[in-house]
A and B are shown apart, each in its own frame.
Chain A
Amino acid sequence: MKKEFSPCVFQVQRLIPSCSLIGWGGMILFFQKNQLLPLLQHPRFHLLTLATAWVLILLGILRLIIPSRHSFEDLSSQILREILLLSPLLFFICFPFNQNQVNSLVKREHRTFTPSFDPDRADLSWIHSKTVPSPNLVELLLVCSDPEERHKLDGKIIALEGQFLPSERGYKLSRLFMFCCVADVQTIVIGIDGTPPPNMKEGDWFHVEGKIHFSGKKENLVLLQKSVRLIPPPSDIYLYYTK
């Protein structure tokens, strides 16, 4: 027998399916407005994600306006389903995150980037620079992964920027490296042989100049510190494999 609904329940049931769509779209626009979207995903996807947010809001409004031929399910199961669909938004409300949360990922040393040599990116023209060069850290590591290329770099003075990590010997420079989104972020860690400024705390950004040296079996890149200073965080905290 067909179940009869009161007009009030009927209206609520029409409203519910739009909640998740408008909620998802609104959440993405909130991330964009509060500069959280660049923390969550590669810049290549921003436009697509923002366009999707507007499409979701439009679809949610259309769903409200357009009468549906689908038979409504039970109100309680519909509400449960909607709560599950809105769980990303509920998670953000219960466990919000910000740039500090992302910064804390530099401590995850178990997810360290292991580079493989890429001859196309082995551009070492910067080593002849008259001023102290600031090579791209990813490209530097890609070059350093090749034993033949390492000797060209040994002893060169370079400048790097990154986040401070304490270490038993010297300290470490750490950067977050993203392929696609924050869930696949890995850390790039380089040892610095020297003394950090006394007021430097874990996660603080610093600029260091030093000499390239390879330790262990001449495999691990270490920077022999010449000078170091604190700097403000950059506008984009990530390094990317591809821009």
Chain B
Amino acid sequence: MRNISMFFISLFIQGLPFLVLGSLLGAVISTRISLSRWLLKIPRQSFLGALTGALAGFILPSCECFVIPLVRRLKAQGLPTSAAVAYLLAAPTLNPLSLISTWSAFSTTPYSYAIFIRVIGSLILSVGIGMLFSKMPEHHLWKGDLLREMNPRAFPSPRYSWGDTISMALEDLRSIAIYYIIGCFMAALLQNTSILPVLSVSMPMADTALMMVLAYISSVCSSADAFIASSITSVSFAAKMAFLWLGPILDLKLTFTYPLLLKARPFLILIFTVIVLIFAMSWILGKALYSI
């Protein structure tokens, strides 16, 4: 139990700075910065909207811990669905810290091109799923309280003081921290068992499946996951990329934070689509590398 307590607390304090930063950034954007004008100019057309949202990951960086409160606020300000979903899925991978760590981890291995494969894969996933979700009615997609908050003209308002900004940031922080704490606890429980090492690698693509399970359970921050992927020698490069594509989009702790944004059905669709796409991309990558 003491091991679980130690893992739980270490995971919690590891992500806490990003939760605080994300909540503060989200609240400042909502109440102090006039993004509404720009957000309303983002193309409503699904492909262009999704592409713009995904590319925003480079210039409006956020890791997976703070992307959800930020997207929550951006969506409430009028960000189109295609762009919001694409940003949600792309930003944790495309943020500068994650890209630097990916480059560092793979630059001295035979897979120095891993950073490009990771970026391309992330763009395909985020733009594809962003376009898919833009076809769904908004009231089927987003949580009800988020839809009630949606009023682009109301933000920013001169009525918002710095006190309101702090109150909003703290409300966001406290809301998301509950889910994050549950996720950290589950991850700590699993990290303390020997379930993962006994999973055998015996079938084709089994290493990809194993790495995807590992990415989901370990819930490692996208700023550090590349070092873990590069250090595991018993799996193929395609399986390592599956780990790097999936982790920032879907892991145990995020399973408890996505419901803050999405309703149950679109969340299940997201999980299914992400898993199928990553599995397919990993298979194609494996075939392509084998044929070279």
Residues of A at under 8 Å CB distance from B? 17, 20-21, 24, 27-28, 31, 40-41, 45, 48-49, 51-52, 55-56, 59, 62-63, 66-70, 81, 84-85, 87-88, 91-92, 94-97, 101-102, 104-105, 110-111, 113-116, 118-121, 145, 179-184, 241-242
Contacts and interface: CB of A to CB of B under 8 A. Distances in A.
B171 A110 contact: no
Interface string B120-153: 0000000000000000000000000000000000
A66 B194 CA distance: 48
Given A41-B13, A85-B181, A114 B231 contact: yes
B10 interface: yes
B2 A97 contact: yes
Interface stretch (B68-76, B222-230, B275-283): B222-230
B86 interface: no
A62 B166 contact: yes
A17 B20 contact: no
Tell me the interface secondary structure of chain B in the complex: helix
B13 A182 contact: no
Contacts of A102: 6
B215 interface: no
Interface of B: 1-14, 16-17, 20, 104, 107-109, 163-164, 166-167, 169-171, 173-174, 177-178, 181, 184-185, 187-188, 191, 194, 197-198, 218, 220-221, 224, 227-228, 230-234
Contacts of A145: 233
Contacts of B12: 88
B16 A52 contact: yes
B178 A85 contact: yes
A55 B12 CA distance: 16
Given A92-B5, A114-B231, A116-B231, A17 B174 contact: yes
Contacts of B173: 21
B3 A85 contact: no
Contacts of A21: 170, 173
A92 B9 contact: yes
20 contacts: A20-B174, A20-B177, A41-B13, A41-B14, A52-B20, A56-B20, A62-B166, A63-B166, A67-B163, A85-B174, A85-B178, A85-B181, A88-B12, A88-B13, A94-B5, A110-B198, A113-B231, A179-B228, A183-B7, A184-B228
A67 B164 CA distance: 9
B191 A183 contact: yes
A121 B104 CA distance: 12
B271 to A, nearest CB: 23
B231 A241 contact: yes
Contacts of B185: 87
B166 A118 contact: no
Given A85-B178, A114-B233, A120-B107, 16 more contacts: A17-B170, A40-B6, A48-B17, A63-B170, A66-B167, A68-B163, A68-B167, A84-B181, A88-B13, A94-B5, A95-B5, A179-B231, A180-B224, A181-B10, A182-B6, A183-B14
Given A51-B17, A116-B231, A145-B233, A91 B9 contact: yes
